[in-house]
Amino acid sequence: MSRDNSDRTLARRTLLRGAGAIGATLVCTGLASASSGDAQYLVSTSNAKARQRIERAGFTVRHVLAEGSVAVVTGPAGATDELRGIGSVSAVTRDVTVELSPPEVDADASSTPGEDAALRDLQWDKDLIRASEAHEVATGDGSRIAIVDTGIDLDHPDLGNVNEDLGAAFVANDDVPEIGPGDSGYHGTHCAGIAAATGEVGVVGVAPEAELVPIRVFPADGGATFGDILKGIDYAAEIGADVANFSLGIPGVQQPGADLNKLKANVQRVFQSAVRRGTVITGSAGNDSGNLQQGGGFTLPNSVPAVITISATSPADTLSFYSNYGTSDIDVAAPGGWYETIPRTLGETGEPDDIPYPFNGVLSTWPTTLDSSVELPGYDFISGTSMAAPQVAGLVGLVRSLDADLNANQVESVVERGADLTDGKSGYQFGAGRVDAKETLSLVDDT
């Protein structure tokens, strides 16, 4: 596809209904309940006897996480104090339900890629991080990437590296149990392709020979519970995943006194346990243009030390206008799509060689059962920090394929040292910098 704007007329369009309309974010919709109608709780425990004591008290333990230190428990509403009174229980928090908020873009692009277009040529994101050059050194062979999300399209021709047998679904109120780890929406399939599409037909991921494991935590209609999201991360560590990607985060910058802060300790316990077991965790920074470095603000689940938190960059290597930022949270940046302003994204301002909308989003795999907005069945462009995080997950797969013995902290270190655009880990927009796959791999032997 030509990237020359001279033969296009880009219609004036409304890009966003709100900041949460990029890629997909999570909207907190209320307190979590199990399919039985019982309330769901996150329970911190101090020893292995807690589960038996909780069950003897009449509660049900759905998941045991973080090597036994966190339990997802269901029981009557209003039983927080009763649970706290059980021996070996140190803290109790009501779980919450979160739903994906899909993009709401009203656009009418005047042209689409031709029938014979080479889709790799549309993957500007892979050019920026020098993925093709990195593939001369490593392709991810032998590494395992878990996608904790809506599942993955198990029939996509560019996702033939999915391990369906290891795939799992952890969904409290599952309305599509028959699909197992298949995609209940679109988000997980898009993230999976960014990380590790094989390039068999249309697009290539950062680690095209890595193994993908789909871990579905969302029903087709409704929300995921934090308990199930945490179970997905815990399961990724249990099966020895080299990296677990979650492109999920509650929108808005939370303040230290917020109710959601009560969940933070359990998130940290589960994530730190996964990291101890060798699984690197990559997470999206959030799409609220939010400042995470002032006043103790945070987002969940990514604002814990165990996560590599990733901001989103544009085709011009600028911070995408929607991306959260802040030295306290951002570890590295990666291509997520769109430009630093809405007018430049729409082509109303900018440079002559800017990529036109919607092609300045990130192209990746799309469920074959859904329509493509650019009339490319099985592929579509969307943008967000959701798209930035799996770029880094794929890079972790490349690193681990070169040296499987590196621990999670060593992997994060080499990714940060290989990043570009900033001097050291100090940039409030990009952390250590925008990732560079070729440079990162050149540093693995020195780690």
Active site residues: 149, 187, 386
Radius of gyration of the chain (CA): 21
Phi, then psi, of 371 in degrees rounded to 5: -70, 145
Question: H/E element holding 196?
Answer: helix 187-196
Of the candidates 270, 269, 263, 272, the residue with the CA atom closest to the CA atom of residue 299 = 263
Q: Is 347 helix (H, G, I), strand (E, B) or coil?
A: coil
Give yes or no for a contact between 414 and 399, defined as CB atoms under 8 angstroms apart. Answer: yes
Please give the full DSSP string across 95-114, using - where no structure is assigned: -EEEEEE----B---S----
Strands 362-365 and 379-382: antiparallel
Spatial distance between the Cα atoms of 177 and 251, rounded to a whole number of angstroms:
28
Tokens of 381: 């462009």
C-alpha separations of 333 from 27, 96, 368 in Å: 24, 29, 29
Tokens of 192: 């999976």
Residue 411 is given by DSSP the state: H
Spatial distance between the Cα atoms of 51 and 87, rounded to a whole number of angstroms:
10
Spatial distance between the Cα atoms of 299 and 286, rounded to a whole number of angstroms:
8
Residue 377 is given by DSSP the state: T
Give yes or no for a contact between 16 and 22, defined as CB atoms under 8 angstroms apart. Answer: yes
Q: Is 410 left (phi over 0), alpha (psi -120 to 50) or beta?
A: alpha
Burial class (CB in 10 A: 0-12, 13-18, 19+), 62: buried
C-alpha separations of 255 from 192, 259, 294, 295, 373 in Å: 32, 9, 10, 7, 37
* Torsion sign (Cα): 13, 335, 260, 39: positive
